[in-house]
């Protein structure tokens, strides 16, 4: 047991298997049965999370205990997210920005894991790709299909078992939600042909912002199960078999209205001031959010 905590220490680190783990952040907020709303892409449950542990050997940071995979899959199937729809234009702006990192489409097949409402699929199609999606939320998958895309409501393992292969796979802000990211990445590896490319984005727990804010870093949330930094995400990808791993910065673009609401959520007693300031900024502005705590990670399945 850890002094001052009612939680037992995890038996081993998820990434390296080591036993030297320490409590990084004690449980905060009420995390009992949060419901599907807690797993929305636009969830406002910042600062509510179970105990979060750090490995003293490799630096991996993970939530523990965590809900079972079957429970998580069911919650994601039930997710509905009207705020995400309201932010449609900002999502398109973000995805058009990141699409440049994928190179020319030229008819290449693409699978977007966690495709949600299909906005990146639409942007990828504009860029010349032949895209499909993987999405568990029945609400979101229906919206993506209404845009004319094939969207599979299944797990990565089930998609890999189909024998289908894709020239490139994307996974935007998804891997931190996965109970077993190593197994999921192994399925991604299987879904790619030799030379196929894989791109993902995720928050960076090792960033200056995350370290400076500590337990008040807004991306500490119950829906985030594993927290990577630049070294741990690269290590996991290489463990699975990927090569040419590169890590850069990922930029989200959001509306001033959405940003103001998010900042008010984490501002505590200063929330009224934040809301008043937000009303001064034109609602149509697209504001880049790039504080160095979001990573763009790219890799290749070797030939």
Question: How many Å apart are CA 88 and CA 42, to the nearest integer?
Answer: 12
Q: Does any domain span residue 122?
A: yes
pLDDT at residue 272 in the model: 59
Q: Does any domain span residue 32?
A: no
Domains of the chain: total:
1
Q: Does any domain span residue 31?
A: no
Spell 220-238 as b/e; 16+ CB within 10 A means b: bbbbbbbbbbbebbbbbbe
Q: Does any domain span residue 138?
A: yes
Helices (H) and strands (E) in the chain, counts: 11, 13
Residue 278, pLDDT above cutoff 80 = no
What digits encode the pLDDT tens for the residues 188-200?
999 999 999 999 9
Q: Does any domain span residue 73?
A: no
Alpha helices in the chain (DSSP H): 69-77, 82-86, 88-99, 119-126, 138-145, 156-161, 181-191, 208-213, 230-240, 256-266, 271-278
Q: Does any domain span residue 4?
A: no
pLDDT at residue 31 in the model: 80
What digits encode the pLDDT tens for the residues 153-194?
999 999 999 999 999 999 999 999 999 999 999 999 999 999
Q: Does any domain span residue 53?
A: no
Q: Does any domain span residue 286?
A: yes
pTM for the predicted model, two decimal places: 0.91
Domain extent for 148:
80-224+232-300
On the CB side of 104, CA atoms within 13 Å amount to 2
Q: φ, ψ for residue 170 (rounded to 5)?
A: -125, 155
pLDDT band at 258 (very low <50, low <70, confident <90, very high): confident
CATH of the domain at 200: 3.40.50.150
């Amino acid at each position: 047991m850890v002094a001052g905590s009612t939680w037992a220490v995890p038996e081993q680190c998820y990434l390296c298997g080591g036993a030297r783990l320490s409590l990084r952040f004690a449980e905060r907020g009420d995390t009992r049965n949060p419901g599907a709303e807690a797993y929305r892409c636009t969830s406002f449950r910042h600062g509510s999370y179970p105990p979060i542990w750090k490995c003293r050997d490799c630096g991996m940071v993970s939530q523990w205990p965590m809900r079972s995979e079957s429970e998580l899959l069911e919650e994601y199937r039930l997710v509905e997210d009207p705020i995400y729809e309201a932010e449609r234009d900002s999502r398109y702006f973000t995805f058009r920005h990141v699409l440049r990192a994928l190179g020319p489409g030229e008819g290449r097949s693409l699978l977007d894991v966690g495709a949600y409402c299909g906005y990146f699929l639409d942007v990828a199609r504009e860029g010349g790709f032949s895209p499909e999606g993987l999405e568990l939320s029945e609400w979101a998958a229906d919206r993506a299909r209404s845009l004319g895309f094939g969207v599979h409501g299944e797990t990565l393992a089930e998609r890999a078992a189909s024998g289908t292969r894709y020239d490139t796979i994307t996974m935007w802000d998804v891997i931190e939600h996965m109970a077993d990211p190593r197994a999921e990445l192994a399925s991604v590896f299987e879904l790619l042909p030799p030379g196929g490319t894989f791109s993902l984005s995720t928050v960076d727990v090792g960033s200056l912002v995350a370290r400076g804010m500590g337990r008040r870093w807004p991306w500490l949330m119950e829906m985030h199960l594993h927290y990577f930094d630049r070294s741990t995400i690269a290590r996991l990808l290489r463990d699975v078999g990927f090569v040419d791993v590169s890590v850069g910065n990922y930029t989200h673009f959001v509306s001033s209205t959405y940003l103001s609401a998010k900042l008010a959520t984490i501002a505590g007693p200063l929330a009224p001031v934040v809301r008043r300031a937000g009303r001064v900024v034109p609602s149509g502005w697209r504001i880049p959010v790039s504080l160095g705590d979001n990573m763009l990670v790219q890799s290749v399945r070797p030939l």
